[in-house]
Structure formats: C-alpha cells, structure tokens
Amino acid sequence: MTARGLGIDVGGTNLRAALVELETGAVVALRRHALAGRSPGEVVSVAASLARALGAEPGTTVGVGFAGQLQAGSGVVLNAPNLGWRDVPLGELLSGALGAPVRVANDLSAAAWGEARFGAARGARESLVVFVGTGVGAGLLLGGRLHEGAGGVAGELGHVKVDRPPGTAPRRCGCGMTDCLEAWAGGAAVEARVREAVAEGRAPAPAPGEARSGAGRTDVAARAGEEWALSLWEETAGLLGRAVASAATLLDPGRVVLGGGLLLGNALLYEMVERRIREETSRTAAAHLVVARAALGDEAGVVGAALLGAGR
C-alpha cells in the first residue's frame, strides 16, 4: 500500500475531507459534512469526525485548504470573513484534535497545488492557476514551489482593481473595497448583474420554473446572438482576460490553468476569456503560453491539501 495523506477543504458552509494516495494523487475516499455552526470548535470537531470516518490511521499527515487570510507558515487564520474568524490558531487546534502535524494553506493555493502535481499543470515548474467560481482567485506555482507571499495572501487576483464599463456605477466588493475584479466578473457578480438587467428590462425574465442560473442563461443567449448577453459576456471576458493576461505578462508562467464553475460551466465565456488572454499577454510571454482547463474539478482542493500536508 502506498502512503496516504489526509486532505481537508474548509469552505464557508461545508467541510470536505479525503484520504489521498500521495504517489498518484488518487482520492481513496472522500466525505463531506455541512457545518452546523461556524465556530473554530465546530470546524475542528467535524474535521476530526470525518478523519475517523475515513479510517485515517494515527500518524497520517494532514493538510488543510482554508478560504481565508493566513499568517504564512504558522497555521494561524488572521481573517476569514466567510466564517467571521479573526486570529484563530487553526493548525494548532486541528493538530491537537487529530494527533498529527497539520499544514494549513489558502484553499486556492491548495487547489492550484493539486492541479500542479496531478492535474492540468502536471510536471510544470511554473504555472498560473486561476479559479473563477462564486469569487475569483489564483494559485501561483513558481520555480516548482507554491508562492504564498510575504504575508500568506498571494493570489488574490479577484481583488485587483478594474476600470468599470462606461456609464456604470461603482460596485462594492465583499472585501470592503470598490470595483475589484470579483465584484464585476465573479460568479456572484454575474448573477447579480443578470438580475439587475432583468429588473431594468434590458434582459428577458427567465421562463417560469426555469432552473438555469443567470450565467447559464447568459451563455445560451449569447450563443444565440442576443445583444444583452453578448455585451455582458464581452465585459466579463474582457475584465477576466485582462487580469489573467496581465498576470501572465508579469510572471511568464508558460502555462495558465483555468478552473471554477463560472468558466468551466459556460463554454462561450471560457472561449472568450481564453481568446482575450492570448490577445493581451505580452508577445514574448504569449509565444510559449499554454492555456488549459483545470482537470481535477472539486477534488483539486483536497488532493493539493493532502500533498502539502505531507510535504510533497
């Protein structure tokens, strides 16, 4: 039996844990549990019960991907708006409950590491991994290692500032600032913008009982040539493509991996973003740039966390 590690992904409402084969990145078993509360005690007790349910043996290494700002290297959560945490020594608490050393990383860094080791950036020494789901973020694989930044908050691509489309009002971001990329082009922002377009009569209302998301409706309508949808997608792809192209120009990563529900779930938007990245990256960096889809889906986070926990 090859060595296994435990990977834990802490989101705002769910906690997922998996046993991962460290040689192959294969997920041996995965469990998910809704968080009834959001206290550190609740998170630690859910993590411990999932670890037991998965049959993690004593001494199994543990890695955690966590959506929040971490103090580099220490396992301390400085700030997690989703959970309302400040200055929580999560690594230490989990380590006590699980009886093993715990490595805590940003959730997108962990997912990027999973893609880097066993997904769409496998074998690369450099790559820029961008996730556009509800929010927008990135993980940076540079020189064969995960770049976490001087304060542990590298990769906050969702919080670069953008020029709003002409004639529009500023949009407030969840981070407290205004006109962040995520506030215009993340999945939650797209849903809000579609609702606004319907309310203002610029877009048709969804059919009664229609289950599709605002983004899904937009992708279908844009492919059918509907003006409101095309213009929303052009703005969204323009902002996302510009931000990724600027990052690729700065870093010369050789490889950009695109993941997250908004991009992977909407074929036309993906294609438009990819085209913008190619058009706007510097010629020198674009000449050898590969753009690829993320390959591990929802499992990237637990796989990357398990690897980081084992120092791999």
Nearer to a second copy, 99 or 311 (CB): 311
Are the C-beta atoms of 259 and 111 separated by less than 8 Å?
A: yes
C-beta of residue 159 within 8 angstroms of C-beta of residue 175: yes
Direct distance between the N- and C-terminal alpha carbons of the chain, in angstroms, rounded to an integer:
18
Residue 141 CB, nearest approach to a second copy (Å): 10
- Shortest separation between residue 129's beta carbon and a second copy, angstroms: 12
State which residue, 5 or 155, has the beta carbon closest to a second copy. Answer: 155
Residue closer to a second copy (CB basis): 5 or 186: 186
> Nearer to a second copy by C-beta: 54 or 90?
90
Q: How far is the CB of 131 from a second copy (least distance, A)?
A: 14
Strands 77-80 and 85-88, sheet pairing: antiparallel
Interaction site with a second copy (CB under 8 A): 69, 79, 124-126, 138, 140, 142-143, 145, 147-157, 159-161, 163, 166, 175-177, 180, 242-243, 245-247, 249-255, 280, 282-285, 287-288
CB 256 within 8 Å of CB 291: yes
CA-wise closest residue to 4 among 144, 104, 23: 23
Sequence-distant (6+) residues with CB within 8 A of 237 are 269, 272, 273, 275, 276
Indicate the residue among 60 and 69 with the shorter CB distance to a second copy.
Answer: 69
Number of residues written out for the chain: 312
**Cβ closer to a second copy: 11 or 149?**
149
Which among 24, 28, 46, 26 has a CA at the least distance from the CA of 37? 46
As measured in angstroms, the least distance from the Cβ of 175 to a second copy is 6
Measured from the CB of residue 252, what is the shortest distance to a second copy in angstroms?
A: 3
Compute the distance between CA of residue 270 and CA of residue 46 in angstroms, rounded to an integer: 36
- Shortest distance (Å) from residue 284 CB to a second copy: 4
Exposed/middle/buried for residue 34 (C-beta within 10 Å: 0-12, 13-18, 19+): exposed
**3-state SS assignment for residue 130:** strand
